[in-house]
Amino acid sequence: MTGQVHRRYGPSAQWLHINEAHITEEAVADLAGFKSNGVNFKLALWNPQPNGVRYLKALTFALGMQLSPANRERLQRTRNREVGDPYAVRCNGEPVCLDYLQAVHEVEFMAANLPLDGARIMEIGAGYGRTCHTLLSNHEVAGYTIVDLPNTLALSRRYLHTVLEPEQFAKIRFVGVDEVEEQVRGARFDLCLNIDSFAEMDPGTVGDYLALIDATCAHFYVNNPVGKYIDKTLDGHSQGAAVVELALNSGLLRDVIDIHDSEAVLQKVPAFVSAYRPGPRWQCVARERAVSWSYYWQALYRAGAVPR
């Protein structure tokens, strides 16, 4: 595009559309109802209307009743989850929504593989901040940096300020994508997270972020799809063919697969593990299927010594 300035960590065409159509300045100015409207349907959930609420609640209930005692405690320690009016059920007296069910499983996976207390953490693309909220509610982290697009950053700032204690919120630094080189490049982090956003970025942008992780981080946790789908029966392509095309062209892993075929998904795991390895000195130390979507995988990488 002639005359357009390249933003190294800027949004893909898909996310430019999302910010213009859904996560607008007006939409993120008020937390009331955002978890069950178009804002969150671009951050964490697909729109379950008009007939999907019963299925969403059934899934949430089934997963909620299977929570381990440790994950029930993680959930209970994460207060104010009702802010934003999520679709929720009650399991053993505790309100449960799908976002935070996923968050406690993510934290469980990370905590099993590295120490989180005292960690300096960076999250690239935090959505409204559910994983940050869960981590800060369960671990005494030293600091938490969120890198994101302006409107989403405004939402996570407002949400986390509302749900966290002041001393917890004070640990968070919010960095816009155009401030990354200035504010992040010289820092050091024990852990970087990316959950469900690398798959929606331009491939070159993902590569730049992986290089940034290689230069600044000791561990990297990723939770993203292993491929794309084009099955119109799943969502009716309700936003039109152009939006489907944007989604198909984003991310590093663009093979179209049957996302509800366990073997087809499993065949793509080696490519997933390879694609998200930040550099040659990094080793994948843990990987497994993520909760709760059939085609999402999670992996943790550890950096080796920097070669001399």
> By residue range, what is the domain housing residue 67?
13-303
Domain-located, residue 1: no
Q: What is the pLDDT of residue 241?
A: 80
The low-confidence residues of the chain, meaning pLDDT below 70, are: 1-6, 49-51, 238, 306-308
- Taking the C-alpha atoms of residue 242 and residue 14, their distance in angstroms, rounded to an integer, is 10
Asked, as a colleague might, if the bond just before 11 is cis with ω within 30 of 0, I would say: no
Tell me, yes or no, whether 308 lies in a domain. no
Answer whether residue 4 is part of any domain: no
Would you state the pLDDT for residue 1?
A: 47
Domain count, the chain: 1
Residue with tokens 């949004």: 11
- In angstroms, the CA 57 to CA 214 distance is 39
> pLDDT value at position 5?
65
- Please tell me the predicted confidence (pLDDT) of residue 80: 99
As a whole number of angstroms, the distance between CA 107 and CA 150 comes to 26
User: Domain with 72 in it: what CATH number?
Assistant: 3.40.50.150
What pLDDT shows up at residue 119?
A: 99
Within a domain: residue 3?
no
pLDDT confidence of residue 37: 83
- In sequence order, the 6+-apart residues with CB closer than 8 A to the CB of 229 are 256, 257, 258, 259, 295
Assigned domain for 7 exists = no
Task: Check residue 43 and give its pLDDT.
Answer: 81
Q: Answer for the pair 189, 122: CB distance below 8 angstroms, yes or no.
A: yes
Cβ proximity of 189 and 145 under 8 Å: yes
User: Using one digit for the tens of pLDDT, what is the confidence trace for 86-114?
Assistant: 999 999 999 999 999 999 999 999 999 99
Q: 5 lies in a domain? A: no
DSSP string, the chain: -TTPPP-TT---HHHHHHHHHTS-TTGGG--TTGGGSTTGGGTT----TTT-HHHHHHHHHHHHHT--HHHHHHHHHS--TTTT---EEEETTEEEEHHHHHHHHHHHHHHTTS--TT-EEEEES-TTSHHHHHHHHHS--SEEEEEE-HHHHHHHHHHHHHHS-HHHHTTEEEEEGGGHHHHTTT--BSEEEEES-GGGS-HHHHHHHHHHHHHHBSEEEEEEESSB---HHHHTTTT-HHHHHHHHTSSS---B--TT-HHHHHHTHHHHHHHT--STTEEEEEEEEPSS-TTEEEEEEEE-PPP-
244 falls within a domain: yes
Tell me the C-alpha distance between 52 and 290, whole Å. 22
